[in-house]
């Protein structure tokens, strides 16, 4: 193989390696940006829930407001509200967006349909963040168990 050809091959290989490194770096930056945006969306949801409903799980007016916001009739006690809310399958991100637009988010007929939608649209709220607020925690379903 002539030396000139080998030199061209090395130059081409070096150029391709450089392009691959640039693509990998761009992908990494894109992933980091997406992760930061997702983290901020979660923080925004927690702040919205804290401002709108508070964190007092014994506050009946807070539970009644949540019932209204998901489109069900407010009940007369905290336990009745939580019992009614356990039958509601709604995406937390969609609920916040709907409330900002003064509308009601889509309620799914089953946990499985909510789970499938949430995975498909990358709208899974982190358990760790939801546990900080009893109202958020109430709206969670198991995202990994499909019966």
Predicted confidence (pLDDT) at residue 53 exceeds the cutoff of 90 = yes
5-19, 27-41, 58-72, 106-120: which range is least confident on average? 5-19
Burial of 49 by CB count in 10 Å (0-12 exposed, 13-18 middle, 19+ buried)? buried
Give domain status of residue 124, yes or no.
yes
Compute the mean pLDDT over every residue in the chain, rounded to the nearest whole number.
Answer: 89
* Residue of higher predicted confidence among 1 and 63: 63
pTM for the model stands at: 0.77
String of b and e for 57-94 (b: at least 16 CB within 10 Å)? eeebebbbbbbebbebeebeeeeebbebbeebbbbbbb
Give domain status of residue 43, yes or no.
yes
Give domain status of residue 10, yes or no.
yes
Going by pLDDT thresholds of 50, 70 and 90, the confidence category of residue 87 is very high
Comparing C-alpha atoms, which of 79, 124, 88 is closest to residue 106?
88
Give domain status of residue 63, yes or no.
yes
Give domain status of residue 98, yes or no.
yes
Going by pLDDT thresholds of 50, 70 and 90, the confidence category of residue 147 is low
Give domain status of residue 144, yes or no.
no
Give domain status of residue 145, yes or no.
no
The DSSP call for residue 88 is -
| Domain span holding position 127 | 3-139
Give domain status of residue 57, yes or no.
yes
What is the average per-residue pLDDT within 88-98? Answer: 94
Going by pLDDT thresholds of 50, 70 and 90, the confidence category of residue 55 is very high
Q: How many structural domains is the chain composed of?
A: 1
Which residues have a Cβ under 8 Å from the Cβ of 142 and sit 6 or more positions away? 111, 115
Going by pLDDT thresholds of 50, 70 and 90, the confidence category of residue 26 is confident
Kindly state the tokens that stand for 129. Answer: 């963040």
Q: What is d(CA 69, CA 66) in angstroms, rounded to the nearest whole number?
A: 5
Going by pLDDT thresholds of 50, 70 and 90, the confidence category of residue 144 is confident
Going by pLDDT thresholds of 50, 70 and 90, the confidence category of residue 1 is low
What is the average per-residue pLDDT within 123-142? Answer: 88
């Amino acid at each position: 193989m002539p030396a000139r050809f080998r030199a061209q091959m090395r130059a081409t290989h070096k150029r391709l390696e450089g392009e691959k490194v640039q693509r990998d770096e761009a992908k990494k930056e894109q992933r980091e940006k997406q992760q930061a945006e997702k983290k901020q969306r979660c923080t925004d949801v927690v702040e919205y829930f804290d401002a709108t409903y508070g964190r007092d799980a014994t506050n009946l007016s807070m539970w009644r407001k949540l019932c209204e916001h998901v489109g069900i009739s407010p009940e007369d006690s905290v336990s009745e509200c939580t019992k009614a809310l356990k039958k509601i399958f709604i995406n937390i991100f969609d609920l916040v967006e709907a409330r900002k637009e003064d509308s009601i988010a889509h309620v799914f007929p089953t946990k499985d349909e909510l789970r499938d939608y949430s995975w498909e649209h990358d709208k899974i709220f982190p358990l760790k963040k939801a546990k900080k607020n009893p109202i958020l925690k109430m709206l969670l379903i198991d995202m990994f168990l499909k019966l």
